[in-house]
Amino acid sequence: MKKIIALLIIILFTSSSCEKDDICDANTPTTPRLVIDFYNISNASVLKNVTNLKVIGDGMTEGIVFNSGASGDAQYLTNGSSISIPLKTDSNSTKYTFILNSGNPNPTLIDIDEVTFNYTKEDVFVSRACGFKTLFTFVPNNPYIQTAVPITKGKWMQVISVEKSNIANENETHIKVFF
């Protein structure tokens, strides 16, 4: 009888020490990226593709990878009408350089704007497996600062419109850029 009780106690202790695997499901929403759509300045309802747009974060040596399958500079270029870029989770602002026609052999056709996005952030607990995600809210009176490079050339992003102040997911457009 003592052997059976001892065996039951051993089984009880070994099974109680097991714990559920904590694996974050790939479909779990995490920190959202900023979604920017590009529009035709002449017809504000028509999406417009950018040409060889390269986006470089402040302090980065290379651009954001838009084409992971490509090699060389091609991986940093996009030609679509929408991009998603990350915001810094350890700061209340993120600065990007947007280079239109990047790599063009004629330097007069390359347009560069610098945009600093200003926001507040809130860390939200997702789960034990996934940890926290950060949600962003644009600063109401100063959501961004835009500068042309060089200043004398003028801004290629003629109008920047904040469509959604709260960045909680990637299923909606947060910023519209007209050029």
pLDDT at 27: 87
Please report which confidence band the pLDDT of residue 63 belongs to, taking 50, 70 and 90 as the band edges.
very high
pLDDT surpassing 80 at residue 2: no
Tens-digit pLDDT profile for residues 120-144: 999 999 999 999 999 999 999 999 9
pLDDT at 152: 87
Q: Give the 3-state secondary structure of residue 14.
A: helix
By the 8 A CB rule, do 115 and 72 touch? no
Euclidean distance between CA atoms 122 and 124, whole angstroms: 6
* Token couple for 20: 């559920």
Tens-digit pLDDT profile for residues 77-122: 999 999 999 999 999 999 999 999 999 999 999 999 999 999 999 9
Number of neighbours of residue 85 by Cβ within 10 angstroms:
17
Euclidean distance between CA atoms 118 and 96, whole angstroms: 12
Global pTM?
A: 0.85
- Mean pLDDT throughout 6-32? 68
By the 8 A CB rule, do 50 and 80 touch? yes
Residue 149 pairs with which residues in a beta bridge?
112
pLDDT at 26: 87
pLDDT surpassing 70 at residue 21: no
pLDDT surpassing 60 at residue 17: no
Number of neighbours of residue 136 by Cβ within 10 angstroms:
23
